[in-house]
Amino acid sequence: MMKISYDVVKRWVNEAQEAASSDNIMVQYHALGVLYHLKKNDRLAVSKMLNKFTKSGLKSQFAYCMLIRIASRLLKENEEGHESPLFDFIESCLRNKHEMVIYEAASAIIHLPNCTARELAPAVSVLQLFCSSPKPALRYAAVRTLNKVAMKHPSAVTACNLDLENLITDSNRSIATLAITTLLKTGSESSVDRLMKQISSFVSEISDEFKVVVVQAISALCQKYPRKHSVMMTFLSNMLRDDGGFEYKRAIVDCIISIVEENPESKEAGLAHLCEFIEDCEHTVLATKILHLLGKEGPRTPVPSKYIRFIFNRVVLENEAVRAAAVSALAKFGAQNENLLPSILVLLQRCMMDTDDEVRDRATFYLNVLQQRQMALNATYIFNGLTVSVPGMEKALHQYTLEPSEKPFDMKSVPLAMAPVFEQKAEIALMATKPEKLAPSRQDIFQEQLAGIPEFMNLGPLFKSSEPVQLTEEETEYFVRCIKHTFTNHIVFQFDCTNTLNDQLLEKVTVQVEPSDSYEVLCCIPAPSLTYNQPGICYTLVRLPDDDSSAGTDPRKGRDAYVINSALPFERVNVCTRIWG
């Protein structure tokens, strides 16, 4: 009923306070909910309510959970932080007899900002006990929450590693997956081999969604312990051979590529696994990505010739996009290895007979470049490629097609690719020494805003804008404040409106103005919509009377300009709108 008729429910505060002392656990829970929603906009009232119930105690475990959530919300906004009595209350709930209250308190502590490992310790200890609970829901809740803790404070979860290892064999695959990913975040370098063996025993039984989570955890572990790349590479290659969807395969390929790029000693093993994968790869995106990597890293390996067979097989067996990528990869081998160049030229000549235009064009282009045997040409057209901005080139080509010209398209008209961030920092530092432009004044901003509204375009220059005047109380359903913009013959009233009701959407919002007889309301411009807690603006244009003495002196005349009084009376201000609940 509070959403429909707030004022009616507000009268029942005394009854709700009496119900909060009820022995019935559900009555007490709902009474606390009503009290909170009635007082949630008054921080002091909520604090008093919390102090009352934390001291007197509650009988309902559901009410305790709600009280913990309210206290947690206040703590996040409170500057006292963990020194507050509210934190002590939440910590005391870790010793409650109800499991749901204990978990709610542990979860609240873990989600508090700037929590240290020492402050997390009691919550982690409770969750560790839940890991051995006979109830699957408690085990899942505990391991899921510990997984979140491990992202920021892995050392705080290390004490739970033994309990988490026991959960790897849990019959619930969701619990097992969360346990293994948590261990991958908290485990030491010496435990990597054992973890990989444990993962391989159940990874085939879980869905692709969970497999992706496992792969992402392995990728993070590779960055943490780079010396264990061989163990992880072997495990990932076995996963790559299993059946799976595109997202799962892409996660594995990305992980292997990151290992290859960060660990030079793992390059040959990683490239070999990827070559084996593209022999039977049904995903074009992954095949072209791997071919690009082979073209980049393959020529620099001790035996680059062993990759040629895998690449040329793609020209023979795959679709157009993969064939084109394979041609580019072959050209890079020929450009960097003089011994392989004759063989590469023969293969490119065969590619010139391809049925696809793109493949033939690439083969012809690279063949002619390589036949010149000039390192400068190879560097410009094979290794570096285009240095232009691709979006810029697309825009320039589109413009060229819209405006036909006898002149050929000029690549010099295309902007260069954006410089890397580290190169731009020096430019920013140099620009910082230049004098900054003056920021526009408040008056200029209002002038620009009002000039953009068709009804106000012909009002002339803006003479004065008043300070905001609050028309309603902040606790009301609609908060409205007014700014008066004075022109030579008109006043524009700008109403900044805020809807404080989270269950209502206001549309075509206007403020009704009833001026005295000498003033004339010309038009009202409504705010299109007013969603919860999002400000909207509506305007009312009023013509000043010809003999108005309150308008002050005309600023365009040579006399002194005085501050405009604009004593336009507000006899009544209402928000007139259609309400959609």
Q: Are 476 and 497 in contact (CB under 8 A)?
A: no
Three-state DSSP state, 403: coil
Nearest to 296 by CA among 247, 259, 323, 257: 257
Q: Are 101 and 65 in contact (CB under 8 A)?
A: yes
Q: In one letter, which amino acid is 229?
A: H
Distance of CA 204 to the CA centre of its chain: 31
DSSP state of 381: I
| Beta-strand relationship, 478-486 and 464-465 | antiparallel
How far apart CA 172 and CA 132 sit, in angstroms, is 14
How many Cβ atoms from other residues are within 10 Å of residue 475's Cβ? Answer: 9
How far apart CA 373 and CA 337 sit, in angstroms, is 11
- Rounded-to-5 percentages of helix, strand, coil across the chain: 60, 10, 30
Q: Are 103 and 138 in contact (CB under 8 A)?
A: yes
Tell me whether residue 434 is exposed, middle or buried, using C-beta atoms within 10 angstroms of its C-beta: 0 to 12, 13 to 18, 19 or more: exposed
Q: Are 31 and 22 in contact (CB under 8 A)?
A: yes
| pLDDT attached to residue 16 | 74
| pLDDT attached to residue 184 | 81
Q: Are 84 and 78 in contact (CB under 8 A)?
A: yes
Tell me whether residue 433 is exposed, middle or buried, using C-beta atoms within 10 angstroms of its C-beta: 0 to 12, 13 to 18, 19 or more: exposed
How far apart CA 111 and CA 76 sit, in angstroms, is 9
How far apart CA 297 and CA 209 sit, in angstroms, is 31
Task: Tokens 């007490």: give the residue.
Answer: 28
Kindly report, residue by residue over 297-315, the tens digit of the pLDDT: 989 888 989 999 999 999 8
How far apart CA 213 and CA 144 sit, in angstroms, is 13
Asked, colleague to colleague, whether 1-115 and 443-580 share their fold, the answer is no
Alpha helices in 352-420 (DSSP H): 357-371, 375-378, 390-402
Q: Are 349 and 332 in contact (CB under 8 A)?
A: no
Q: In one letter, which amino acid is 151?
A: M
1-115 placed in CATH 1.10.357.10? no
Tell me whether residue 59 is exposed, middle or buried, using C-beta atoms within 10 angstroms of its C-beta: 0 to 12, 13 to 18, 19 or more: middle
| pLDDT attached to residue 6 | 62
| Direct distance between the N- and C-terminal alpha carbons of the chain, in angstroms, rounded to an integer | 12
Segments in the chain below pLDDT 50? 418-437, 549-581
Nearest to 326 by CA among 351, 343, 304: 351
Q: In one letter, which amino acid is 511?
A: V
Q: Are 567 and 580 in contact (CB under 8 A)?
A: no
Nearest to 377 by CA among 340, 411, 385, 393: 385
| pLDDT attached to residue 288 | 93
Kindly report, residue by residue over 218-270, the tens digit of the pLDDT: 888 888 887 777 888 888 888 888 888 888 899 999 999 988 888 888 888 89
Q: Are 164 and 156 in contact (CB under 8 A)?
A: no
How far apart CA 290 and CA 278 sit, in angstroms, is 8
Q: Where are the domains of the chain?
A: 1-115, 388-403+414-434, 443-580
Q: What is the DSSP string of 66-77?
A: HHHHHHHHHHHH
| pLDDT attached to residue 10 | 65
| pLDDT attached to residue 434 | 42
Mean of per-residue pLDDT scores for the chain: 80
Is pTM beyond 0.75? Reply is: no
Listed in sequence order, the residues at least 6 apart from 397 whose beta carbon sits closer than 8 Å to its beta carbon are 409
Nearest to 232 by CA among 161, 184, 300: 184
How long, in residues, is the chain?
581
Tokens of 561: 């300009």
Three-state DSSP state, 354: coil
| pLDDT attached to residue 80 | 61
Tokens of 239: 């996963």
Listed in sequence order, the residues at least 6 apart from 284 whose beta carbon sits closer than 8 Å to its beta carbon are 318, 319, 321, 322
Kindly report, residue by residue over 160-191, the tens digit of the pLDDT: 888 888 888 888 888 888 888 888 888 777 77
Q: Are 334 and 302 in contact (CB under 8 A)?
A: no
The widest CA-to-CA distance across the chain, in whole angstroms, is 98
Angle, CA 190 vertex, CA 188 and CA 192 arms, to 5°: 75
Listed in sequence order, the residues at least 6 apart from 118 whose beta carbon sits closer than 8 Å to its beta carbon are none
Listed in sequence order, the residues at least 6 apart from 120 whose beta carbon sits closer than 8 Å to its beta carbon are 109, 110, 149, 153, 156
Listed in sequence order, the residues at least 6 apart from 522 whose beta carbon sits closer than 8 Å to its beta carbon are 490, 541, 542, 543
How many Cβ atoms from other residues are within 10 Å of residue 504's Cβ? Answer: 18
How far apart CA 63 and CA 174 sit, in angstroms, is 30
| pLDDT attached to residue 3 | 62
Query: Looking at the domain 443-580, which fold is it?
Result: Immunoglobulin-like (2.60.40)
| pLDDT attached to residue 4 | 63
Q: Are 533 and 479 in contact (CB under 8 A)?
A: no
How far apart CA 519 and CA 10 sit, in angstroms, is 40
Compute CA distances 433 → 173, 421, 424, whole Å.
59, 19, 15
